[in-house]
Chain A
Amino acid sequence: MTLWRTAYASVIGTSHVQTGAPCQDAGACRVIRANDGREVMLAVVSDGAGSAARSAESSMLAVQYFLDTFTPHVAADPTLQFFDRTLFESWLHDLRYKITGLADQHSMDVREFACTFLAATLGPESTVCVQVGDGAIIGSGDEVGDYAWLTWPQHGEFANTTNFITDDDAFDAMEFEFIDRPINEVAVFSDGIERLVLDMGNRSVHSPALRPIFQWLATTEPSLEKTCPDPALEAFLGSARINERTDDDKTLVMGTRVVPQTEERA
């Protein structure tokens, strides 16, 4: 049985419901059993730009392409030593090539496919975080129930600006972090909930905003592949208390390999 308990959900923003726009966020998670029997978890989020007509397609493509590309890599080498900046750059290059092809096919500007990208790869010894744009990746901190950010949202000078993988300078904006230790709890989310979870003034994670969700997640059934969104996370992200604070699409992908208290006792 796997050690990982995972969940993801993408919920459309109330402003998009009003305008009839689709949910432009995409998110997914997958646990891969490596050749040596150890496990690696992938948590991926992409947020399509609001003004980009076809960004719902590019965000889904980005998430799926990351899973497809890196599943065999991590299966072969769960130490993640293979994963360096150059490899991610070449992956991003290929993804942009695919998106440009999609744009050409529809005779559209590639900006109509603008989206952000965030992915956390959690191995038994190490962790890799990559990001272009806003949203954030957070992981377990020094104390139980405390969380710290692994990547911070990228915003331009103005509140409604960020970087997209389709931008000319996407490679300059690209963040790549190889962390030489395992991380046992992770949350990857789009900008729709960043202002509810992150203390923007102090540049820190507001741990109580995630703690009860991680505690609950640790009590759910472990599984390798989640093929459908988690109803509990969907209910949370779609609740009135969230919608009164944000009208944007929001995606949350979470994983934990922390053993719950009850199992320890048993």
Chain B
Amino acid sequence: MVSDQVPFDFPDLVSNPEPRCPCLLLLDTSMSMNGAPLEQLNDGVRTFKEQLAADSMATQRVEVATVTFGPVRTISEFQTADHFQPTTLTATGDTPIGGAVLHGLDMLDARKRDYRNAGISYYRPWVFLITDGGPTDAWQAAAERIHAGDNPEFKAFSFFGVGVEGANMEVLAKICSPSRPPLKLAGLNFRELFVWLSASLKGVSRSQVGTSVPLPPPGWASV
């Protein structure tokens, strides 16, 4: 309709790569997660993928990577939501949260370098840690790196800690940034958690310059 009024040949516009919104999942697969918790977590991650894939912008912009512990293992490198294939996680070992955080943040730094080298812009990354225990390794270095990267003055990433029933919330609070204390999952509400996470990332991935992104209330957290 309006194009009739354009008195010149429609210009050949340039296609730039979509800006990326990296999301790192640090998932507890220690033996205590065996059974219902891990089944619900697997189901939650699949829901996460489906929700992102259903959104045309998020599917091209949100990049997901998965690291499980323990042992610390990269399950999937950063890839856009349309390529991300959740694998069924199984319970394997102890709870090296410190090692998982450091490994994950290294992956994130490497991914940011890739973006910069390719001239791809990116949004502030999200790191999501889910555990039902407490760290079985040294976690102080990981905590320092989180506090240094997620605070009101310096925002390298947003770090969210989520404790499942049985989690050592006291230590988790020390690992998380004081400005973003950990939340406790209500029951095994993984599905709702991942619906919330995908909705939040959809918001971030379409945010414009100078816009703060209001997060939906986390209905999955217990108060």
Contacts and interface: CB of A to CB of B under 8 A. Distances in A.
B11 A210 contact: yes
Nearest to B210: A49
Contact of B10 (A164, A199, A210, A241): A241
A239 B3 contact: yes
A212 B122 contact: no
Interface string B1-34: 0111111111111101101000000000000000
A235 B3 contact: yes
Q: Which one of A160, A201, A231, A247 has the highest number of Cβ atoms from chain B below 10 Å of its Cβ? A: A160
Contact of A52 (B2, B3, B10, B210): B210
B12 A209 contact: yes
A158 B126 CA distance: 12
B119 A213 contact: no
A200 B14 CA distance: 9
B73 to A, nearest CB: 29
A161 B2 contact: no
Given A200-B16, A212-B11, A155 B121 contact: yes
B8 A232 contact: yes
A191 interface: yes
Q: Which one of B3, B9, B16, B210 has the highest number of Cβ atoms from chain A below 10 Å of its Cβ? A: B210
A95 interface: no
Sort chain B's interface into a size bin.
20 to 34
Contacts of B14: 195-199, 206, 209
B16 A195 contact: yes
Contact of A235 (B2, B9, B206, B211): B2
A28 interface: no
Contacts of B13: 196-197, 206, 209, 241, 245
B11 A49 contact: no
A197 B12 CA distance: 9
A50 B209 contact: yes
A15 B123 contact: no
A211 interface: yes
Q: Which one of B4, B8, B122, B123 has the highest number of Cβ atoms from chain A below 10 Å of its Cβ? A: B8
B121 A200 contact: yes
Nearest to A48: B210
B4 to A, nearest CB: 8
If over half of B's interface residues share one DSSP class (helix, strand or loop), that class is named, otherwise mixed; here it is loop
Contacts of B9: 212
A158 B210 contact: no
B16 A50 contact: no
A165 B66 CA distance: 40
Contacts of B179: none
A39 interface: no
Q: Which one of B9, B11, B19 has the highest number of Cβ atoms from chain A below 10 Å of its Cβ? A: B11
A175 to B, nearest CB: 17
Interface string B180-211: 00000000000000000000000000111111
B2 A15 contact: no
A203 interface: yes
Contacts of B11: 208-213
A179 to B, nearest CB: 24
A232 B210 contact: no
B209 A191 contact: yes
Interface string A193-236: 00111111111001011111101100000000000000110011
B118 interface: yes
A1 interface: no
A84 B42 CA distance: 62
B212 interface: yes
A51 interface: yes
A213 B8 contact: yes
B83 interface: no
A210 B8 CA distance: 11
B124 interface: yes
Given A49-B211, A158-B124, A209-B11, A236 B206 contact: no
A85 B208 CA distance: 30
B210 A51 contact: yes
Interface of B: 2-14, 16-17, 19, 118-124, 206-212
Interface of A: 13, 15, 47, 49-52, 55, 114, 134, 155, 158-162, 164, 191, 195-203, 206, 208-213, 215-216, 231-232, 235-236, 238-241, 245, 247-248
Given A159-B121, A241-B3, 4 more contacts: A160-B207, A200-B119, A238-B2, A239-B2
7 contacts: A158-B121, A158-B123, A196-B13, A213-B11, A235-B6, A241-B13, A245-B13
